[in-house]
A and B are shown apart, each in its own frame.
Chain A
Amino acid sequence: MFKNPEELKYAKTHEWLKEEGDVCVVGLTDYAQDSLGDIVFVNLPAVDDEVKAGESFGDVESVKAVSDVFSPVTGKVVEINEEVVDNPALVNEDPYGAWLIKVAEVSEKDELIGSEEYAALCEEEH
């Protein structure tokens, strides 16, 4: 079974979103890290880059695969997690601690689902 904290919201493309005031924090779900396998590299945008809801803002690499990471919101990147860039294994070890980007000036949000619905989706895909 995969961990899906109740307080978070989820995108069907397997990203999670946490709202901290005006800032949205985005990361990859437990299910995502598990199906990707050992993550060896994380490719993130630069601070001040624009991201768009439903569009790819970066990618994560395992040894023999690469997967896009989609932004659940439209806005401006205010911080990226340098720690994850230096040590991509963190995404495997602690997917909900190892956030990827923080987005501010959010103007649009994708339709997100709650943890229960997301768990059902993972079950279906598994």
Chain B
Amino acid sequence: MKLLFEESSQGRHLDLIPDCDTPEYRLSDDALRKRQARLPELSEVDLSRHYTQLAKQTHGVNDGFYPLGSCTMKYNPRIDEEMAGLEGFADIHPLQGQDSVQGSLEVIYRTKELLCEITGMDDMTLQPAAGAHGEYTGLLLIRKYHLDRGDTERVNIIVPDSAHGTNPASATMAGFKVINVPSNAEGGVDLDELRKVVGKDTAGLMLTNPNTLGLFDPNILEITKIIHEVGGLCYYDGANLNAIMGRVRPGDMGFDCIHLNLHKTFATPHGGGGPGSGPVGCKEFLRDYLPGKMTGKNENGYYLYTPAKTMGQVRSFYGNFLVVVKALTYILTLGKEGVKEASGKAVLNANYMKERLRKYYDVAYDTTCMHEFVLCLERLKKEKGVSAMDVAKASLDYGIHPPTMYFPLIVHEALMFEPTETESKEVIDEAVDVYVEIYEKAQSDPEYLHSAPHHCPITRPNETEAARNPILKYEWQD
């Protein structure tokens, strides 16, 4: 399909703003660009059709099942969008006087209170714009805490080998050295290995629980104790909170600070990659280090303040505020029972799907899972030459977004499924039937799967060529 620039026709335009009615002002020629930017020249109907075509070539949660592991692709309620679009939120300048933005500050304050209760934290910043941004912020909290106490030797952040790639990358950005610890045979943290690497140089541990295998680590209290005993802090990666919200809280498991992904657990849409929101919560003893522009409340109303020993700001203003509006709408809708019901159904759906699939595929760790589970297709690869990639690509032809492929790294030929709570039994049954059909195809006609998908807008792209000879923008033929 054509690019905007290829559809452009000279002189075509939309009448969007009136002619300027103030006197013409001329800047010196030296300040001006030599020629106009080559933006496309289109009519409104051109634009509308262009993007309608693009929408048809985009699979969202609203198009079908989206069991992309670790991403919590639950349904995004329309009311949340409507509330974020209210003029009283959307058209408010971030530098208005504080008495003129009491509604916005209350949104921030109430969201913070609700999320603190759900996670067992004492305070929270909503400034980070995404999960990785939250990790970075949380690690800076840990860094500030140690440095403020004159504890300059704590340079190591411990990360399990099953962790999201953002964990080690964030630790490096925050100025730490990363120490990887292996998993044990049950998929949890190997306690002996953990004991070996902790010490006076331990700044903290980053952990997600349930972990990326979808397993709740039963040794969690021992793990956080080991870290605390050597003076380190425990950081909770909230990517998988959807499994446990309303049932057990990171704060009660021994975590000192956390980040959440509002665009996962709290139903705000991913927008094709963002915007997200990655609030960071912490225990009382860390709150003075939180980023600037916190919201407080006193008898006169809500106000902005900067914590005493702040780490500084990680983003301008107050973060992705309109995403927070959506999350608050969602939490108010669910309420105390709804939150618990959501996590329970997410876990039920994952176990149900796993139970039905395990008759055909190998489960990496075949035990009760939380909100997601990982299949290991090594056997299928060896016996039939059919890879995790082949199975994933084949499911595209059935209108299913594939599970996360080749992650976590500790499972070979991994496929990670996260059905989420908003899918019904019927949808999951249909999806299982699809994966069974693909399994049978792998036995009878593996070649067919190597070249899948067969019914999508494109076939498999040549990614090698894309990386070897990058074409990163449209080139005009003139």
Contacts and interface: CB of A to CB of B under 8 A. Distances in A.
B406 A64 contact: yes
B281 to A, nearest CB: 33
Nearest to A37: B464
Contacts of A63: 463-464, 467
A40 B468 contact: yes
A89 interface: yes
B468 A88 contact: yes
Nearest to A41: B467
A63 B467 CA distance: 7
Contacts, number: 16
Contacts of B468: 38, 40-41, 88-89
Interface in B455-477: 463-464, 467-468
A61 interface: yes
A40 B464 CA distance: 6
Interface string A59-80: 0011110000000000000000
The DSSP consensus for interface residues of chain B is helix
The DSSP consensus for interface residues of chain A is mixed
Interface residues of A, number: 9
A70 to B, nearest CB: 18
A68 B407 CA distance: 20
Interface residues of B, number: 5
A64 B388 CA distance: 14
Contacts of A61: 467
A64 B467 CA distance: 10
A15 B308 CA distance: 53
A61 B463 CA distance: 12
A98 B463 CA distance: 22
A38 B406 contact: no
A62 B468 CA distance: 9
Contacts of B406: 64
Contacts of A64: 406, 463
A62 B463 CA distance: 10
A85 to B, nearest CB: 12
A4 to B, nearest CB: 25
Interface string B68-79: 000000000000
Nearest to A87: B468
Q: Which of B406, B463, B468 has the most CB of A within 10 A?
A: B468
B378 to A, nearest CB: 15
Interface string A29-44: 0000000001011000
Contacts of A40: 464, 467-468
Q: Which of B406, B463, B464 has the most CB of A within 10 A?
A: B464
A62 B415 CA distance: 21
Nearest to B464: A38
A40 B463 CA distance: 9
Contacts of A89: 468
Nearest to B406: A64
Contacts of A88: 468
Interface string B384-424: 00000000000000000000001000000000000000000
Contacts of A38: 464, 468
A126 to B, nearest CB: 13
A61 B468 CA distance: 10
Interface string A77-114: 00000000000110000000000000000000000000
Interface string B406-449: 10000000000000000000000000000000000000000000
Interface string A1-23: 00000000000000000000000
Q: Which of A40, A61, A88 has the most CB of B within 10 A?
A: A40
Interface of A: 38, 40-41, 61-64, 88-89
16 contacts: A38-B464, A38-B468, A40-B464, A40-B467, A40-B468, A41-B467, A41-B468, A61-B467, A62-B464, A63-B463, A63-B464, A63-B467, A64-B406, A64-B463, A88-B468, A89-B468
- 6 shortest A-B CB distances, which residue pairs? A40-B467, A38-B464, A63-B463, A40-B468, A63-B467, A63-B464
Given A38-B464, A38-B468, 10 more contacts: A40-B467, A40-B468, A41-B467, A41-B468, A61-B467, A62-B464, A63-B464, A63-B467, A64-B406, A89-B468
